[in-house]
């Protein structure tokens, strides 16, 4: 449905990941990826592999497909951090690994990757709140949460920063800093769904084990939206 709706207007990145390397490889080898431009593959979660295990996991994935691969490092969800050294090793060894969505929250680690990466490898912010400073260091964009609610505003901030207009980009960044925090008080995607509900766009329903934000969080989001003169 998404591929048909997009109809080639923008690239489509499909999430294909897990903590069972063989299962991910079989999916990549056997499923139909027509219309998919790249895959996003998360660091294996729960079983906490070593750095060598992470490398071997991505080696198997890279060798199983010709599609471009975007790595996804999010230790807050997976329980293990992929170090800059491992990221750079993967980036140098496999030409179809083209980028990383970095959500470790460790600016020093991200800067290390940006500084030492191959030319054909990009760093993408995986955290709205540090997208602006990360772009000033050399990141190329963001895979955003708040962008689901404010695609025009947040993409404009990103474009301004990429074009070196840091003053105007910073103004937009500061406009949303309180919302960045509120979106994660009760977890993601509960926060952004609560915000979209406050804006009258969707019902505030989630699949268990996720549940809607607490009423205090919801009201705090509504308060900020009102202060920003956003109808809710």
What SS3 state is found at 142? strand
pLDDT at 232 over 70: no
CA distance 151 to 23: 34
Q: Are residues 170 and 100 in the same domain?
A: no
- Co-location of 189 and 98 in the same domain: no
Inside any domain, residue 154: no
Which of 104, 103, 80, 102 lies closest to 91 in space, CA to CA? 102
Query: In terms of domains, do 128 and 186 share one?
Result: no
Classify the C-alpha dihedral 24-26-28-32 as positive or negative.
negative
Domain residues for the domain of 219 are 166-232
Q: Which residues sit opposite 32 in a β-bridge?
A: none
Does residue 91 lie in a domain region?
yes
φ, ψ for residue 57 (rounded to 5)? -60, -50
Over residues 181-226, the pLDDT tens digits come to: 999 999 999 999 999 999 999 999 999 999 999 999 999 999 999 9
Whole-number Å distance between alpha carbons of 92 and 113: 12
Q: Are 134 and 173 in the same domain?
A: no
Token pair in block for residue 6: 């997009």
For residue 159, being part of any structural domain is answered with no
131 shares its domain with 41: yes
State the catalytic residue, choosing from 101, 117, 223, 231. Answer: 101
What pTM value is reported for the model?
0.93
**What are the φ and ψ backbone dihedral angles of 139, each rounded to 5 degrees?**
-70, 160
Q: Is residue 157 part of a domain?
A: no
User: Is there a domain that residue 178 lies in?
Assistant: yes
Last residue of a domain, one of 143, 158, 182: 143
Contact between 146 and 192 under an 8 Å Cβ cutoff? The reply is yes
Boundary-marking domain end, from 110, 143, 176? 143
| Number of domains within the chain | 2
**Inside any domain, residue 160:** no
| CATH number, domain with residue 48 | 3.20.20.70
CA distance 8 to 28: 21
pLDDT at 231 over 60: no
Let me know whether 113 and 57 are in one domain: yes
> 103-130: per-residue pLDDT in tens?
999 999 999 999 999 999 999 999 999 9
Same domain for 10 and 85, yes or no, is yes
Same domain (yes/no): 216, 116:
no
Question: 197 and 137 in one domain?
Answer: no
Question: Is there a domain that residue 127 lies in?
Answer: yes
- 216 and 173 in one domain? yes
Residue 134 and residue 23 in one domain: yes
Residue 15, H or E segment: strand 13-15
Average of pLDDT values for 32-49?
A: 96
- CA–CA gap between residue 24 and residue 45 (Å, rounded): 13
**The domain boundary residue, chosen from 143, 177, 201:** 143
87 closest CA partner among 58, 66, 47, 124: 58
Measure the CA–CA gap between 191 and 211, rounded to whole angstroms: 10
Question: Is 101:115 a contact under the CB 8 Å cutoff?
Answer: no
Catalytic choice (72, 115, 193, 223): 72
Task: Work out the pLDDT band at 8, boundaries 50, 70, 90.
Answer: confident
The reply to whether 152 falls in a domain is no
Asked whether residue 19 falls in the same domain as residue 80, the answer is yes
Active site residue 48: no
């Amino acid at each position: 449905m998404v591929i048909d709706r997009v109809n080639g207007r923008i690239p489509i990145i499909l999430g294909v990941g897990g903590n069972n390397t063989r299962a991910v490889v079989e999916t990549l080898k056997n499923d139909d990826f027509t219309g998919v431009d790249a895959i996003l593959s998360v660091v294996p979660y729960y079983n906490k592999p070593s750095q060598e295990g992470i490398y071997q996991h991505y080696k198997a994935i890279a060798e199983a497909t010709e599609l471009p691969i975007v790595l996804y490092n999010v230790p807050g969800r997976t329980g293990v951090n992929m170090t800059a050294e491992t990221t750079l090793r993967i980036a140098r060894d496999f030409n179809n690994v083209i980028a990383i969505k970095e959500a470790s929250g460790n600016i020093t680690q991200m800067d290390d990757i940006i500084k030492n990466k191959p030319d054909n490898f990009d760093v993408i912010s995986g955290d709205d709140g540090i997208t602006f400073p990360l772009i000033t260091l050399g990141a190329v964009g963001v895979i955003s949460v708040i962008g689901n609610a404010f695609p025009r505003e947040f993409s404009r901030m990103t474009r301004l920063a990429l074009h070196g207009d840091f003053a105007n980009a910073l103004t937009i960044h500061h406009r949303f800093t309180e919302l960045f925090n509120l979106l994660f008080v009760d977890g993601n995607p509960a926060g952004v769904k609560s915000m979209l509900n406050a804006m009258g766009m969707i019902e505030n329903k989630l699949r268990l084990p996720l549940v809607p934000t607490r009423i205090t969080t919801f009201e705090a989001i509504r308060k900020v939206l009102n202060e920003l003169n956003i109808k809710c």
